[in-house]
Chain A
Amino acid sequence: MREILIISGKGGTGKTSLTAAFSHLADNKIICDLDVDAPDLHLLLQPCHEQEVAFYAGNEARINQDGCTGCGTCAQMCRYNAIRQENDRFTVDPIRCEGCKVCVSFCPEQTIEFPEKHCGTWYVSTTRFGTMVHAQLFPGEENSGRLVALLKNEAKKLARENNIDLILSDGAPGIGCPVISSLSGANFAVLVTEPTPSGRHDLERVASLCDHFRIRSGVIINKADLNPDEAAMIEQYCRERNYPLLARLPHDPVITEAMVQERAVTELGETEIGREIRQAWTRIEELAG
């Protein structure tokens, strides 16, 4: 089974628009949106939810006021400043609580409860391009690598059950916990970048991350004509580091137009950018083996 992941280091590079186009072009795959913090792929694919499951992760401390004597042990031990004191009343600030259980264990009165935390919902859905696995964390919840791992597992399970040999994932932005989770076990990473100073900088960081986890990767430069010099520098960087350049796409408002129409850009008939995306996809399939 192959797992192809589209990532970009930072957001706004066109990663999701490209994932939607690849979802249109690839046959026989499971589509997966691993950007559980701010998922957008569903806006283009209009999934119809077949299965809806609550996602619980970690626990949250809650002080049972009846037993509390106000000794303050919990506040002293908490390293996250999550225990609030107002007069003699101690309460837990859920935004700061990390669920480490230290207060629960050390409360001499054993009066701190530790219920599981409902953090979001995940879905298995049907779309016009095939089955899709995706999720939505509640705003402000931990952008959990665990939810990303769960989605990946679910996608694999569905792929095995249905004899599908490709998982196509829209990865999480950044280089922290959620991206690390999305990279694990991937066969090939498509790195989408823009010819801007920050674009190159972010590309270098996310590419190092792929190298760190020994995942092969290729690069797409989006909006390449906005700054040809910077685009040339990115190409140079790719040559030096041996990252295949998969495509150099123009800055084309048709991408936004597709977004407004809630379609993949390759569905809008013959366009130059559509042709180049098709070529890039052929390359990716070859490279991902």
Chain B
Amino acid sequence: MIITVASGKGGTGKTTVTASLATVWDAPLQVVDLDVEEPNLHLFLWPELGSPAKAWMEVPELDAEKCTGCGNCVELCQFKAISMMLSTLTLYPDMCHGCGGCIAVCRENALQAGRRELGEIRQGRAGKIDFLMGTLRIGEAMSPPFMEQVKKQMQQTLLETNQDVIIDAPPGVSCPAICSVIDSDVIVLVTDATPFGFHDFKLAWESFSPLGKPMGVVINRAGLGTRDIYDFCKKKNIPILAEIPFDRSIAEAYSRGRVIAGVSDELGTVFVSLREKIRDLAADSGKEVSHA
């Protein structure tokens, strides 16, 4: 089972929930930090990490002597990554999306596959947990191709071990967020009950619903803000899987890098029950699918 912990916006406690859930998980587990722009999970789980492996994306490289200046590649490229000035071709590798079209379209073989660094992937262990994270290179604008490579690594480990996976997704509702929830079996949306939290939660729900995955909610800092989110979930039949109370001691524990499931027995129970509810959610939806 692959569980993705996502949130409409940052700062809702997504990483805390992921870390806590991981520590109470009672089956073989791999956790993956796919929030590659701001990977933070390692700051809570303290994995022992192996040496980083660089990840690359294929971008074209020009052999200027072979180029006749026909401009076929310029015409094909949708991302302004190639331009022609006075019949001299210039490549802008930072803009390239790696579609390979220019290389395929060039009749003179003047373009070959080169590469651009996307970021670094690290693997390691946090106790019994397999840990995997990606860190996007500073200045790299495109995270999805990099996330795909981190996911490939995750699939590799999965093939060898067949364990459960918990993914810490990037916040938001655009490409990177979609990229991380698209292959998961269950989506856990973390939100808080403030007006900002509720507003962004609705956006996340709208954008993930079409994927047809079972989805549940964790309300963080419960008791703060308004009841709007509860009414909304009731109306849309979205299960509330857990509520984490608003409590300054939790905020302080978090600010010290502590996994909050370990702060008190009560909080530990909240996450054990979250674990069970996630399993039920996955099992229920499995039944529906087989009956359909």
State the A residues within 8 Å of B (CB): 9-13, 16, 37-38, 40, 43, 58-59, 77, 79-80, 95, 98-102, 105-106, 137, 139-143, 145, 173-177, 180, 194-199, 201-202, 205, 208-209, 212, 223, 226-227, 230, 251, 253, 256, 259-260, 262
Known: A38-B203, A212-B138. A11 touches B11 (CB 8 A): yes
Docked Cα-Cα span, A256 to B199, in Å, equals 14
Q: How far is the CA of A139 from the CA of B204 in the complex (A)?
A: 7
- B residues 95-120 touching A (CB-CB < 8 Å): 97-101, 104-105
Q: Is the CB of A198 within 8 A of B40?
A: yes
User: A59 vs B79: C-alpha distance in the bound complex, in angstroms?
Assistant: 11
Contact in complex: A43, B206 (CB < 8 Å): no
What's the dominant secondary structure at chain B's contact region?
A: loop
Which of B61-69, B83-91, B168-176 forms contacts with chain A? B168-176
User: Are the C-beta atoms of B11 and A12 separated by less than 8 Å?
Assistant: yes
Interface centre among A38, A142, A177, A199 (most CB of B within 10 A): A38
**Which of the segments B234-242, B253-261, B273-281, B282-290 contacts the partner chain?**
B253-261
Q: Are A77 and B200 in contact (CB under 8 A)?
A: no
Q: Min CB distance, B140 to chain A, in Å?
A: 7
Q: Which residues of A contact B10 (CB under 8 A)?
A: 10-12, 173-174
B256 close to A227 (CB less than 8 A): yes
For B172, the closest partner residue in chain A by CB is A37
| Residue contact A260 to B171, C-beta cutoff 8 Å | no
Evaluate contact between B97 and A196: CB separation under 8 angstroms: no
Of residues B104, B140, B195, B206, which shows the largest number of chain A Cβ atoms within 10 Å of its Cβ?
Answer: B195
Query: Of the candidates B43, B99, B172, B248, which one forms a contact with A197 in the assembled complex, judged by CB atoms under 8 Å apart?
Result: B43
Which positions in B face A, CB cutoff 8 Å? 8-12, 15, 37-38, 40, 43-44, 76, 78-79, 97-101, 104-105, 136, 138-143, 170-176, 178, 182, 194-196, 199-200, 203-204, 206-207, 210-211, 224-226, 248, 251-252, 254-257
In the assembly, what is the distance between CA of A59 and CA of B77, in Å? 12
Q: Is the CB of B255 within 8 A of A140?
A: no
By the criterion CB–CB under 8 Å, are A139 and B206 in contact?
Answer: yes
Which of B9, B12, B43 is most buried by chain A, counting CB atoms within 10 A of its CB?
Answer: B9
User: Would you give the shortest CB distance from B81 to chain A, in whole angstroms?
Assistant: 10
Chain B residues near A100 (CB, 8 Å)? Answer: 78-79, 97, 99, 101
Distance between Cα atoms of A180 and B141 in the complex (Å): 7
Q: List A contacts of B175 (CB < 8 A).
A: 142-143
What are the 4 tightest A-B residue pairs by CB atom distance, in nearest-first order?
A12-B11, A11-B10, A139-B207, A143-B174
Q: List the B side residues contacting A256 at CB < 8 Å.
A: 194, 224-225
A198 and B43 form a contact (CB under 8 A)? yes
Report the separation of the CA atoms of residues A201 and B200 in the bound assembly, to the nearest whole angstrom: 24
Give the distance in Å from the alpha carbon of A63 to the alpha carbon of B127 in the complex: 49
- Chain B minimum-CB-distance residue to A59: B78
Q: How far is the CA of A37 from the CA of B9 in the complex (A)?
A: 9
**Extra contacts besides A11-B11, A140-B174 (5): CB < 8 Å:** A10-B38, A141-B174, A176-B37, A205-B37, A230-B255
- Interface centre among B38, B44, B255, by most chain A C-beta atoms within 10 angstroms, is B255
Nearest Cβ on chain A to B213's Cβ, whole angstroms: 13
Contact B141 A145 (CB under 8 A): yes
Q: Which residues of A contact B174 (CB under 8 A)?
A: 37, 137, 140-143
Could you tell me if B138 and A205 are in contact, using CB atoms closer than 8 angstroms?
Answer: yes
Q: Report the bound CA distance from A209 to B167 in whole Å.
A: 26
Contact between chains at B138 and A196 (CB < 8 Å): no
* Complexed CA–CA distance, A198 and B39 (Å): 8
B252 touches A139 (CB 8 A): no
Taking the nearest CB of chain A, how far is it from the CB of B244, in angstroms?
14
